[in-house]
């Protein structure tokens, strides 16, 4: 389909005709001296008299070429374009950050797989989270791991394969043996500052109690709520354990409730899978569809045609003039 980007430019087509009608050639009568036998005298001297003022007339070829060139120039000014087929692009309408606890307690081998075998907590979590990541195709995600400190493993990106690979390379204790829930939330807030999308979701998974954060998890959750960040918390591990190995379910519930999110507890791999399935239901993938039609500019075609016609016309007229001079 061919359209004009500036169709109003076609209003210029009658401009030369209007100028010709409104501003005709200037004519003026002036006094003259009548000289007897002027023509004979001039011819005797070997000259040919000419008219004092002449308005040159144009040939049909000149008029046709001029009209055609002007029409082509105006058409080029109107910018003809060829429209391609509509192209749709799905863009994520929400950013998601995964914050995974890799403190020393995640090395405990009490996470029960569907076949009944016991696995390391982080290993069981990793398998379920990787499936969750694979199902978020088209979303932007980031990965934060935390222990004694919190670190950004991957910033917000649509390259989910890289996030899965980085998660698979993560080992227990890489961020220290303790649990810094508040720092992990604070780092997620700073990571979201690079996002210009309003809907933001943090999924926080932990199996311990906050022991070394510079900001308490509850205060961090309040700041997240002010930034319109929704937090879903997941507790794994043993709530009846002692010390840092006891998962602080009360704090995880408080964090989720303060941000309008939800809290879950998973005792085994199957339960964790159900948790992520539930998160998919509560926070389904949201996309923004952008549609556009590619445009190919065609203004060069009438410009080229005008140039060719003008060149041929000038060459033809010049050749005719040369022939007339030779005959003379």
Residue 312: the pLDDT is 92
- 99 and 66: one domain? no
Q: Which residues pair with residue 200 across a beta bridge?
A: 95, 229
Report the alpha-carbon distance of residue 65 to residue 166 in Å, rounded: 69
- 193 and 229: one domain? yes
- 103 and 56: one domain? no
Residue 85: the pLDDT is 82
pTM of the complete model: 0.62
Residue 13: the pLDDT is 92
Residue 325: the pLDDT is 76
- 63 and 179: one domain? no
- 299 and 280: one domain? no
Cα distances from 11 to residues 73, 74, 267, 298, in angstroms, run 12, 9, 76, 19
Smallest CA-to-CA distance from 141 within 80, 188, 107, 173 is with: 188
Number of compact structural domains in the chain: 2
- 186 and 207: one domain? yes
Report the alpha-carbon distance of residue 148 to residue 208 in Å, rounded: 11
Could you read off the pLDDT of 71-100 as tens digits, one per residue? 999 999 999 998 888 777 666 667 889 999
CA angle 291/295/297 to nearest 5° reads 165
CATH of the domain at 198: 3.40.50.410
- 208 and 153: one domain? yes
Write the burial class of residue 27 (CB in 10 Å: 0-12 exposed, 13-18 middle, 19+ buried): exposed
Report the alpha-carbon distance of residue 136 to residue 138 in Å, rounded: 6
Which residues of the chain fall below pLDDT 70? 49-56, 89-93, 138, 238, 241-246, 283-290, 328
- 78 and 127: one domain? no
Residue 202: the pLDDT is 92
Residue 83 falls in which region: left (phi positive, over 0), alpha (psi -120 to 50) or beta: beta
- 230 and 250: one domain? yes
- DSSP H helices, 169-234, are 181-192, 217-226
- 50 and 76: one domain? yes
Q: Which domain, by its residues, includes 140?
A: 89-290
- 32 and 145: one domain? no
Could you read off the pLDDT of 94-105 as tens digits, one per residue? 788 999 999 888
- 128 and 72: one domain? no
Pairing of strands 140-146, 150-157: antiparallel
């Amino acid at each position: 389909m061919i359209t004009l980007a500036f169709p109003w430019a076609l209003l210029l087509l009658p401009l030369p005709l209007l100028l010709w009608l409104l501003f005709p050639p200037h004519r003026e009568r002036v006094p003259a001296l009548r000289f007897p036998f002027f023509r004979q005298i001039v011819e005797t001297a070997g000259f040919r008299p000419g008219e004092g003022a002449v308005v040159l007339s144009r040939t049909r070829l000149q008029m046709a070429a001029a009209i055609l060139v002007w029409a082509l120039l105006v058409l080029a000014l109107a910018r003809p374009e060829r429209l391609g087929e509509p192209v749709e692009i799905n863009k994520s309408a929400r950013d998601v950050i995964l914050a995974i606890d890799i403190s020393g307690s995640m090395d405990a081998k009490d996470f029960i797989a569907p076949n009944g075998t016991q696995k390391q907590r982080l290993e069981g979590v990793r398998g379920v989270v990787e499936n969750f990541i694979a199902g978020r195709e088209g979303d932007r995600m980031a990965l934060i791991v935390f222990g004694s400190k919190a670190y950004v493993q991957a910033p917000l990106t649509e390259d989910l394969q890289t996030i899965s690979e980085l998660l698979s390379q993560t080992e227990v204790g890489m961020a220290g043996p303790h649990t810094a829930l508040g720092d992990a939330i604070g780092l997620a807030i700073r990571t979201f500052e690079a996002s210009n999308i309003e809907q933001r979701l943090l999924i926080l998974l932990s199996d311990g109690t906050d022991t070394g954060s510079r900001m308490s998890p509850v205060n961090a959750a309040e700041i997240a709520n002010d930034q319109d960040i929704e937090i879903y918390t997941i507790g794994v591990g043993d709530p009846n354990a002692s010390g840092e190995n006891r998962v602080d379910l009360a704090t995880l519930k408080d964090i989720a409730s303060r941000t309008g999110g939800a809290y879950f507890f998973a005792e085994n791999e199957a339960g964790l899978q159900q948790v992520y399935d539930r998160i998919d239901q509560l926070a389904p993938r949201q996309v923004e569809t952008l549609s556009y039609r590619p445009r190919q500019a065609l203004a060069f075609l009438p410009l080229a045609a005008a140039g060719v016609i003008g060149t041929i016309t000038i060459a033809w007229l010049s050749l005719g003039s040369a022939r007339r001079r030779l005959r003379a």
